[in-house]
Amino acid sequence: MGTIINKTLVLKTFQFLLFSIFFFSSTIYFSCKTPKPVEELNDSDLIFKMIKGPCFGKCPMYKLEIYEGGYTKFYGDRHSDKLGIYDKTISKEELKSLVNAFEKADFYNFKNEYESNVPDAPAVKISYKSKNKELKEVSGKLERPQTLRDLQVMLEDIASSKDWRLLEKYKEPASEEVKEKEKPKVIKTEIIVQPMPNINFSKWFQEKKNLYGLRIIKKIAPNLDLWLITYDTKKVDADMIMQILNNDPNIISAEFNKKTSLREGR
């Protein structure tokens, strides 16, 4: 009986030792696994990317890229606090925190694009690639889920952090090139109107609908008295309807809708 117990004890001890050796070896393998050298990184190694586009004012324009292993690049464009190309390596904890946040937010279930009727707001594109999946891109302005905007703040915190290394100084593009890239596209079939307070907007709108075929596309924001409208181009042309609206005492302002382009950086 004692011999059987001893054999069982020896067997269990041997199994435990095998498991310990395997676990220890695996731990060493994963902890010592080094990321690719920087010069070998490519698009397939990209995990996060954020591009902040222009607005009508001086919004910072830049591109942020974060690769496997934590290698990070920053492309500072116009109005950015860092102009040029910079790099650094974020910690494993920072990278893990970002991944966990994007996974918890179920990033792949966001819409690819959130339309906006606020022409002055800067466009933002955020990209993320989960393990064994294709890169997912989501773009928009103000009208996006708060969870998505919280993820943007996390990436902005990385972009505004310290200890960046300058790789290439900023080269000011030719003025004509800048004007062409930043020039917003005017959408002459869509007009943003702001009515005077306390008017009967429904009655006013019904009158103009009968005359010019006005149609409400949407209210731009719940807390703003701004309306995106369109009109019947067979009844009136763009210049005429704009003149009519701007001369209307019931309207504070009227302007064509504009769409700014989102640049990929330099």
Average pLDDT of the chain, as a whole number: 82
Of 123, 158, 176, the position where a domain reaches its end is 176
Q: Check residue 121 and give its pLDDT.
A: 76
Average pLDDT over residues 33-42: 71
Q: Rounded to two decimals, what is the model's pTM?
A: 0.58
- pLDDT, tens digit, for every residue of 6-36? 555 555 555 555 444 434 433 433 333 456 7
Position 244 pLDDT exceeds 60: yes
Whether residue 108 lies inside any domain: the answer is: yes
Position 263 pLDDT exceeds 60: no
Q: What is the CATH number of the domain that holds 106?
A: 3.30.1560
Of 153, 176, 199, the position where a domain reaches its end is 176
Q: Check residue 109 and give its pLDDT.
A: 94
Structure tokens, 37 = 């050298």
Q: Are residues 46 and 171 located together in one domain of the fold?
A: yes
Q: Check residue 25 and give its pLDDT.
A: 39
Looking at per-residue confidence, does 54 or 183 come out higher? Answer: 54
Whether residue 97 lies inside any domain: the answer is: yes
Structure tokens, 199 = 């008017």
What domain range is 239 assigned to?
Answer: 184-259
CB-based burial, 78-93: b 16+ in 10 Å, e otherwise: bbbebbbbbeebbeee
74: closest CA among 177, 170, 174? 170
Contact status, residue 232 vs residue 212, Cβ threshold 8 Å: yes
- pLDDT, tens digit, for every residue of 202-226? 899 999 999 999 999 988 877 778 8
Residue with tokens 């990436």: 155
Q: Are residues 228 and 164 located together in one domain of the fold?
A: no
Phi/psi of residue 191, nearest 5 degrees:
-130, 135
Q: Are residues 149 and 213 located together in one domain of the fold?
A: no
User: H or E stretch including 101?
Assistant: helix 92-104
Whether residue 45 lies inside any domain: the answer is: yes
Looking at per-residue confidence, does 156 or 44 come out higher? Answer: 156
Local confidence band at 163 (pLDDT 50, 70, 90 cut-offs): very high
Most confident of 20-29, 101-110, 131-140, 255-264: 101-110
Contact status, residue 241 vs residue 231, Cβ threshold 8 Å: yes
Contact status, residue 105 vs residue 148, Cβ threshold 8 Å: yes
